[in-house]
Every structure is written in structure tokens, then in C-alpha cells.
Amino acid sequence: FPVSVVLPAAGSGERMGLATPKQFCSVLGRPLLYYTLQAFLNVPWVREVIVVVSQDWLQETSDILQSFSPTTRSKVRVVSGAATRHRSIWNGLKAVGSSTDVVVLHDAVRPLVEEDFLKRIVLAAKEQGAAGAVRPLISTVVSPTKDGSMLDHTLDRSQYQASEMPQAFRYPAIMEAYHNCSEHDLDFGTECLHLVQKYAGISAKLLLGPSSLWKVTLRKDLYAIEGVLKEEHC
Ligand code: C5P
């Protein structure tokens, strides 16, 4: 069945504190986005990859695509991003081919996605309507008082999981959720699994993902990714 991938890559990466957005930072001589794209383009059953980038990074993105063969890069389409992650994803979803059965959402800044896990997520979404990767929480979570300065209570971390990527959805279900959601959801929402639950009535299947799925967020993550990729490429 046809599977499409939407890769939001239009963020500015403010938390990294660098002028270059993290997805375009160089790792072993190539922009991070190259590795994420490569991971999906290596999967034969992925029909198309929609990359969502901001206008300012269109040229850099097209340079990255030149490093793939013409047949491989013909699977990629580039669309413009927007002010928030959800609005960028929405632009990507609208560009997906209408015969697509399952659409995978994945952050451009998680380059270590593996085909086996991707397949499990896609099959779960095909069956359930929506599926997402989760990881156990590393830190204990505390709830502070309203002004943030004092401990109010501590949560039992065994009761919670961190929501990671990839996530996959039956294409009509995620489209229904985005069509019906509010402007507020598009501006502030961070969780597509929540959107399909609220607006398409689908509870997602959660799958425990490998630790390599972590999101490159801080500068130190770039060094860590570099270490892993170095090992893989040796
Ligand atoms: O900022 P955050 O780490 O949550 O971003 C996750 C992914 O969403 C990144 O790949 C980033 O480029 C993308 N994004 C986007 N459009 C935005 C903000 C973030 O495509 N406006």
C-alpha cells in the first residue's frame, strides 16, 4: 500500500543558539537533513518524501538533493514551511499524493530512524489509524507551583512516556484532524496523536521505540549524532 513521508524541516533551531538551523548543521561534512533523507530514501516501499523547509533554505535543500541519484531524488518534493511546526506539517500533508494510504511524520532532526521500526509503525497505523513512538522518561517529572518557584507535587514517571517520532497515520484520518482543528491548535499544538484523537476520534497505538530516535535539540546532540554516524560509516 502507498506510504508517504512528511519531514518538517522549517524550524529555526533557536535552542541550539546557532545561526544555522540544526537540520542544516554540518555533521561529518554533510547537513544533518541529508542523513534523515537518506534513511527514508533507502526504504524501497516509501513512495514519496515531502520535505518542508523555509524559503531561506530552499537552495541549500536543493544542493542536498543533488547528492542523491536522479531516480532517488525523484521521490522527493520540497514545499515551503510556516511559522509553527504544525503549520509546516499541514503544508506538507496538503502536498501528499491523494492515493496515499499511510503518511509518516518524522522530524528532520532525528536522522537515525531504522527501517524495521518504521515498518512496525506504518503497519500499526494501517490497522489502528494512528501510531507513535514512545520512550520511557529519563528524568522524574515535577509539577511546580503557579509561579514556577516551588515544588507542588512529584509525578510517578512510570505512569508516563515521552512521545517521540516517527508517527504514522491513515492519510484520510490525519487530513480530517487537520481540517477540523482550530487556529489555536495549529499555533500551539505539539502533538499530532492528540489531534487525531480529538478531531478524528482515533486512539493511537503506542510503540516503544529505540533510543536512537532522540531529537537533535542542543549543541551537544550534534556531537553525539556525529559519534554514532562515525561508527556506522566505519
Ligand atoms: O523545534 P522542534 O525541535 O520541535 O522542531 C521539530 C521539527 O519541526 C524540526 O525538524 C523543525 O525543523 C520542524 N519545524 C518546522 N517548522 C517550524 C518549526 C519546526 O518544520 N515552524
Domain limits of the chain? 3-233
Q: Which ligand 1 atom is the nearest neighbour of the CA of 53?
A: 20
Q: Cα(104) to centroid of ligand 1, in Å?
A: 15
- DSSP characters over 82-99: -SSHHHHHHHHHHTS-TT
Q: Which amino acid is at 3?
A: V
Neighbours of 181 (CB within 10 A): 20
Q: Which amino acid is at 34?
A: Y
CATH architecture of the domain 3-233 equals: Alpha-Beta Complex (3.90)
Q: What is the ipTM of this complex?
A: 0.96
Q: Look at residue 16 in the predicted model and tell me its pLDDT.
A: 65
Most informative mutation of 80, 84, 88, 90 for ligand 1 (most atoms within 8 A of CB): 88
Most informative mutation of 52, 58, 85, 225 for ligand 1 (most atoms within 8 A of CB): 85
Q: Look at residue 12 in the predicted model and tell me its pLDDT.
A: 84
C-beta of residue 103 within 8 angstroms of C-beta of residue 175: no
* Nearest protein Cα to ligand 1, atom 7: 107
Q: Look at residue 234 in the predicted model and tell me its pLDDT.
A: 63
pLDDT tens digits, 103-126: 999 999 999 999 999 999 999 999
Dump strand ranges (E) for the chain. 3-8, 26-27, 30-31, 46-53, 76-80, 102-105, 130-136, 142-144, 151-154, 161-170, 205-208
Q: pLDDT (tens digit, 0 to 9) for every residue of the chain, 234 residues total?
A: 999 999 999 998 776 667 889 999 999 999 999 999 999 999 999 999 999 999 999 999 999 999 999 999 999 999 999 999 999 999 999 999 989 999 999 999 999 999 999 999 999 999 999 999 999 998 999 999 999 999 999 999 999 999 999 999 999 999 999 999 999 999 987 689 999 999 999 999 999 999 999 999 888 999 999 999 988 866
Pocket flag, ligand 1, residue 91 (CB < 6 Å): no
* Nearest protein Cα to ligand 1, atom 14: 11
* Nearest protein Cα to ligand 1, atom 3: 217
